[in-house]
Amino acid sequence: MKYSTLVEEYRGGVLENVHYGVVCGVNDRGEVIYSSGDDKHVAFLRSAAKPFQAIPVAKRKIDEKFGLTSREAALFTASHRGEAYHMEALESLLAKTGIAEEELLTHPTYPLNDEPKFACLSQGIAKRRLFHNCSGKHLGYLALSKECGYSTDDYYEVEHPAQQEALAAFAELADYPKEQIQLGVDGCGFPVFALPLKHLAIAYSKLACPDLIADEETRQAVIKLTSWMTENPDIVASHHFTCTALLQDPNIIAKGGAMGVYGFALKKERISFALKVIDGSELVWPLVIAEILRQIGYDNRETIQRLEALVPREIKNDNQRVVGEKKAVFALERR
């Protein structure tokens, strides 16, 4: 397997750390037009699968049936961080759907962001299932199961009809045989898909260019769920995160997952990318994505600047003295 050197980190002029990985870019015909490393690398999507996992929820119009706002529905695609605005929308979801928090499989935890986590600790607030960053996705499947008359005590099992529908929809969008998608179990307990990065990029191209989707119901579901994401970038992640920085650009659909996997697509250019940082780091995503956009000549400089602000190139020590630098060093191969 061929990996590319994506990012190097220097301290005092000495190479201290290297992040290897793979980048794959495809056009709207599913052809690889940019690459760095082996685009056949198989990766688990982790939370980069959430837009596709939300397709059955959007297709059944769960937002309309329960009177949800776009902000609340965006949680079905989100990896939320437990901020106050996340919790307000989640509590509203519980109230409107009639779901009890105890029905969620998600393990009780504290919010991922430091400020709300420290607030819980200082105020003696106990861990909650709702604080889990995947709780929105789980609520979507519970609401879908209640609406469709599916069982709710096993909504997270791969054999569940909602899970099978999501898997079939993803296989269709990825142009990849359903039976060849490798399956595992994600951190939150949901099935998680693995397939070559090229096909993850192809799937993301359908999110940005839904006209490529043959099935009308699936196409309308994708249009709806991507509108939830672009209308509510802060719900999908939160401030100072890559997904939110990218989704602020109305031309981009994007979602990352644990262990360094990321997918994003450009609507106007009809180009999509999938990448995997082999050591699992998410910290270098902004550097890598900004460099991809720069190399393809992306014309929204503001988006690139937002990414660069997330991960400054300068490395500072505890005293805020500049002691090194980090930089993207890969070159995309144009095919």
The predicted-structure confidence for 153-203, as pLDDT tens digits, reads as follows 999 999 999 999 999 999 999 999 999 999 999 999 999 999 999 999 999
Q: Per-residue confidence at 335, pLDDT binned at 50, 70, 90?
A: confident
Length reported for the chain: 335
Residue 251: other Cβ atoms inside 10 A = 16
Task: Report whether 274 contacts 201 (CB < 8 A).
Answer: yes
Please state the pTM of the whole predicted model.
0.96
pLDDT digits (tens, 9 = 90+) for 68-101: 999 999 999 999 999 999 999 999 999 999 999 9
Domain count, the chain: 1
Q: Which of 261, 267, 140 has its CA nearest to residue 199? A: 261
pLDDT digits (tens, 9 = 90+) for 103-157: 999 999 999 999 999 999 999 999 999 999 999 999 999 999 999 999 999 999 9
Distance CA 94, CA 300 (A): 38
Q: What is the pLDDT of residue 321?
A: 96
Distance CA 130, CA 100 (A): 10
Q: How far lies 66's CA from each of 40, 63, 143, 227, 235, in Å?
A: 41, 6, 9, 18, 19
Q: Which of 193, 210, 186 has its CA nearest to residue 105? A: 186
Q: What's the token pair of residue 307?
A: 């990414």
pLDDT digits (tens, 9 = 90+) for 243-286: 999 999 999 999 999 999 999 999 999 999 999 999 999 999 99
237: pLDDT strictly greater than 80: yes
DSSP SS3 for 49? helix
Which range marks the domain in which residue 41 is found? 4-334
Asked whether the CA dihedral 105, 74, 113, 118 is positive or negative, the reply is negative
Q: What is the pLDDT of residue 116?
A: 97
Q: What is the CATH number of the domain that holds 146?
A: 3.40.710
Task: Report whether 166 contacts 131 (CB < 8 A).
Answer: no
Distance CA 60, CA 218 (A): 10
Distance CA 72, CA 53 (A): 16
Q: What is the pLDDT of residue 316?
A: 95
